Amino acid sequence: MMLFESNCLGKIEILNRIRSSSELYETIVYLLMKFDELCILNVVLLCDNLQAIFGVYDGHGGVKAAEFAAKNLDKNIVEEVVGKRDDSEIVDAVRRGYLTTDAAFLKEEDVKGGSCCVTAMVSEGNLVVSNAGDCRAVMSVGGVAKALSSDHRPSRDDERKRIETTGGYVDTFHGVWRIQGSLAVSRGIGDAQLKQWVIAEPETKISRIEQDHEFLILASDGLWDKVSNQEAVDIARPLCLGTEKPLLLAACKKLVDLSASRGSSDDISVMLIPLRQFI
């Protein structure tokens, strides 16, 4: 496959923050802010309604990293993936997009905090999901939840070993695993003081969108810490598929409200993307 022909680059329309896109039918996002650390949700249209990038950027330690990632990561990814055909080339191109964004942010003045990121690119019926941190992508496949990303936390054996191999340490505080007694995520944009261990390198999964691939949920950990993957699909599916017109905003709001009712003290951000429109 070829992602994003070069003549698309001049036609990028960034719908920043919290905007839905009627041109993509209804990509709906819903956000509950509790702190000033900022979570940004982006929709980027490329050339036509069959190419797009979606992203959730969950900041910590301030707003700067999430703002910077939301403004730059999608652009950097597109610039890298133009003309790439092989899956391995695309994976490496996305990796360079993340690393370029991270390096640029770290050169900014008064760099503070960091941001977890999850992005989903759609082009020619292909779905490319990447993440760095604990924002997560979950797809409904005929009603069955399928995680398309893995959370990057120091509690993961491979992440802990990577951190310890490079001279860091991981311990628990009030039941939460943290790097250097501080951060509870092990990858992301920014986090300059922990950069040796908190890398920006994403993990990427490429899928062909099939007829039973119903919708994709992108959300911050504020949702996933309180709501399981399957539970999220079970709640959203009747509102996405069981009505004459999908009630996507209602589905997102229901997920956010459920997490909040279960005591989530974090920002809760949810984006819901119908997938069949891209086949």
pLDDT tens, 111-169?
889 999 999 999 889 999 999 999 999 999 999 999 999 999 999 999 999 999 999 99
pLDDT at residue 46 in the model: 57
The mean pLDDT value of the chain amounts to: 85
pLDDT at residue 39 in the model: 61
pLDDT tens, 197-212?
999 999 999 999 999 9
pLDDT at residue 44 in the model: 60
pLDDT tens, 217-233?
999 999 999 999 999 99
Structure-model confidence comparison of residues 162 and 3, the more confident one: 162
Q: How many helices and strands, by DSSP H and E, does the chain display?
A: 6, 14
Residue listed under structure tokens 């703002």: 67
pLDDT at residue 14 in the model: 31
> Is the pLDDT assigned to residue 10 strictly greater than 50?
no
Kindly state the DSSP code that residue 149 receives in the 8-state scheme: S
Say how far apart CA 225 and CA 221 lie, in whole Å. Answer: 6
pLDDT at residue 193 in the model: 95
For the chain, the straight-line distance linking the first and the last C-alpha, in angstroms and rounded, comes to: 14
Residue listed under structure tokens 């080339």: 89
Say how far apart CA 197 and CA 171 lie, in whole Å. Answer: 14
Q: Kindly indicate the confidence band of residue 51, based on its pLDDT and cuts at 50, 70 and 90.
A: confident
* pTM > 0.85: yes or no: yes
> Is the pLDDT assigned to residue 194 strictly greater than 90?
yes
